[in-house]
Amino acid sequence: MIKYENINLYFDGKMIFNDLSLKIAKGEKVVVLGKSGLGKSSLFSLILGFVRPQSGRVSFDGDPVDEHTIWHVRQKVSFVDQDVSIGDYKVSDWFSFVAGIKSNHSLNFGEERINELMDLFELGRDLLDKYISALSGGERQRVAIIVSVLLGRRVFLLDEVTSALDKNLKKKTADFFIERKDWTVVSISHDAVWLDNPNVKVFDLEKKAWKQ
Amino acid sequence: METIDISIYSLSLVFLLLAVPVILSQVYGLGLIKPLLSSATRMTIQLVLIGVFLKYLFLWNNALINILWLFVMILVAVFSAIRGSSMKPDKIFAPIFISFALATFVIIFYINMFVIRLDHVFDARYLIVLGGMLLGNSLRGNIVGIDTFYKSIRKDAKKYLYVLSLGATHHEAVRTYMKESIRLALKPTIASMATIGIVALPGMMTGVILGGASPDVAIKYQIMIMIGIVVSTMISVLLTILLTSQACFTEYGTLRRNIFIEDNPE
């Protein structure tokens, strides 16, 4: 599904990746592990076309990620960044903004579906009327997760999505993603709920190898 | 009613007025004497030259020469605009030039043809004077617009990339920033429209009145030029943003890394 081949990536003269190769198959659940500054997030930026490698190849679903395919790739991937939002609007505006993007027009952003997910992630209904800036870190993370699920895509790139959640919610969230057989999930996280799950493969970015 | 000419002798009386700041500067040690006198000299020389030039321009009143001169004015405006911007000149020169030229021409042509109904659409007096006013006033808005646009995308990088990741087209991703920067670019002009005439007598009116026309003619010209300025600012800001996109964004829709002056070269 996602393939990095001999990637060399420099940023501001600093080496991020040197000859990195990694293959993630369809339906796999992968956690990327490594110290900060190792370039974990750059793995996501490469798939999403936010950075381009100096050499090497990134492919998505068999096609190389380039200036032509990237717009299509972005419609296939759900990306949840660390404390991301759409600016200072209400939570409900966040949903309507995402639903308003042309390529998302056919999606179900109905009230029922939103409420179902809000319940699942233990968010009160009154949250919809709150301003995003008034949410706690954990609440914002969960809204971002809900948005990513509403997008109806099958590939998830999750950057520290459970970091601000309490123990119970961490488990619930990780399991939610891990249990979907047809979803390909790549998660950057240090949380045990991901690392200790037997269905999750752990990639050690420092050693550039799968952890046995 | 003719405008009263100022004789050379009378003009020297104006220069005498400069003695006031010179003496004050001396007394209080403001250090303004040299810059003041040098600027006054520069201004005088420039205006004398332009006076002679305009005299012939009006005398010949040749459409081609008039248009050429308007282009020179646009060029100077663009250089001045670029100096005030935080963007790299090579990225924005051509887009700003094309935008200014197009916006100015469209508005001037419309005004001269349909509003003032000149027989000679490229008449020097109207083309040069109105063109100068449009350019001078849309300049600042244009710089505010384009700087705001690119700076806010850079500042909001995380959010901008998130929106791209949601499957937005480039146009969809920049739309909020476009709206905000055009709004900011037009804000001063819209605000000054609302207070015009009460707070200050605007330049166009002063000129028309001194030129011998009655105030009711003057206000019509003022209304015309204010609307012209808003429209041409809007056109030029929008066009500048659209035309700089190619040079400032990658084919992946991300902002290029070397578009601001403060950036290190790639």
DSSP string for B3-18: PPP--HHHHHHHHHHT
Confidence (pLDDT) at B215: 85
Q: How high is the ipTM of this complex?
A: 0.94
Predicted confidence (pLDDT) per residue in A11-30, tens digit: 888 889 999 999 999 999 99
Does residue A177 surpass a pLDDT of 50?
Answer: yes
| Percent of chain B scoring above 70 in pLDDT | 97
CB atoms within 10 A of CB A208: 14
CB B127 within 8 A of CB B70: yes
Predicted confidence (pLDDT) per residue in B137-156, tens digit: 888 888 899 999 999 999 99
Mean pLDDT confidence for B219-233: 91
Interface of A with B (CB under 8 A): 45, 48-50, 52, 67, 70-71, 74-75, 77, 79, 81, 84-87, 98, 101-104, 151
SS3 A80: strand
Confidence (pLDDT) at B200: 63
The amino acid occupying position B120 is H
Chain A interface test: which of B164, B170, B252 (most A C-beta within 10 Å): B252
How far is the alpha carbon of A42 from chain B, nearest alpha carbon, in Å? 13
Distance CA A127, CA A106 (A): 25
Confidence (pLDDT) at B2: 67
Distance CA A205, CA B72 (A): 59
Confidence (pLDDT) at B5: 86
CB A84 within 8 A of CB B162: yes
The dihedral sign for the CA sequence B207, B208, B213, B214: negative
Does residue A126 surpass a pLDDT of 70?
Answer: yes
CA terminus-to-terminus distance, chain B: 63
Mean pLDDT confidence for A29-46: 92
Confidence (pLDDT) at B136: 84
Q: Do B162 and A102 touch (CB under 8 A)?
A: no
Backbone phi, psi, residue A3, to 5°: -135, 125
Mean pLDDT confidence for B171-175: 94
Q: Which residue of B has its CA nearest to A156?
A: B165
Confidence (pLDDT) at B203: 74
Does residue A37 surpass a pLDDT of 60?
Answer: yes
Mean pLDDT confidence for A60-66: 94
The amino acid occupying position B122 is F
Q: Do B164 and A48 touch (CB under 8 A)?
A: yes
Nearest CA-CA partner of A38 in A192, A161, A203: A203
Which range has the top average pLDDT, A133-137, A155-159, B30-34? A155-159
Q: Which of B159, B172, B251 sits opposite A87 (nearest CB)?
A: B159
Distance CA B145, CA B254 (A): 19
Confidence (pLDDT) at A60: 96
In DSSP notation, B25-82 reads HHHHT---HHHHHHHHHHHHHHHHHHHHHHHHHHHH--HHHHHHHHHHHHHHHHHHHH
Question: For residues B86 and A58, which has the higher predicted lDDT (pLDDT)?
Answer: A58
Distance CA A90, CA A130 (A): 5
Backbone phi, psi, residue A6, to 5°: 45, 55
Distance CA B187, CA B233 (A): 11
Confidence band of A175 (pLDDT split at 50, 70, 90): very high
Confidence (pLDDT) at B266: 44
In DSSP notation, A143-194 reads HHHHHHHHTT-SEEEEESTTTTS-HHHHHHHHHHHHT-TT-EEEEE---HHH
In DSSP notation, A82-110 reads TT--SSSSBHHHHHHHHHHSGGGTTS---
Look over chain A and give the mean of its residue pLDDT values, rounded to a whole number.
Answer: 92
Any A CB within 8 A of B46 CB: no
Chain A interface test: which of B165, B179, B249 (most A C-beta within 10 Å): B165
The angle formed by the CA atoms of residues A46, A153 and A39, to the nearest 5 degrees, is 25
Does residue B1 surpass a pLDDT of 60?
Answer: no
The amino acid occupying position B123 is D
Q: Which of A49, A79, A101 sits opposite B168 (nearest CB)?
A: A101
CB A143 within 8 A of CB A94: yes
Nearest CA-CA partner of B253 in B184, B174, B152: B174
Interhelix angle for B124-155 vs B170-195, to 10°?
Answer: 130
Return the minimum-mean-pLDDT range out of A72-81, A164-173, B125-134: B125-134
SS3 B244: helix
Does residue A142 surpass a pLDDT of 70?
Answer: yes
Confidence band of A107 (pLDDT split at 50, 70, 90): confident
Return the minimum-mean-pLDDT range out of A107-111, B16-20, B185-189: A107-111
Confidence (pLDDT) at B264: 55
Mean pLDDT confidence for B193-201: 75
Q: Do A103 and B161 touch (CB under 8 A)?
A: no
Any A CB within 8 A of B250 CB: yes
Backbone phi, psi, residue A152, to 5°: 65, 25
CB burial readout B178-202, b (16+ within 10 A) else e: beebbebbbeebeebbeebeeeeeb
| Percent of chain A scoring above 70 in pLDDT | 100
Predicted confidence (pLDDT) per residue in A186-205, tens digit: 999 999 999 999 999 999 99
In DSSP notation, B74-110 reads HHHHHHHHHHH-SB-HHHHHHHHHHHHHHHHHHHHHH
How far is the alpha carbon of A107 from chain B, nearest alpha carbon, in Å? 12
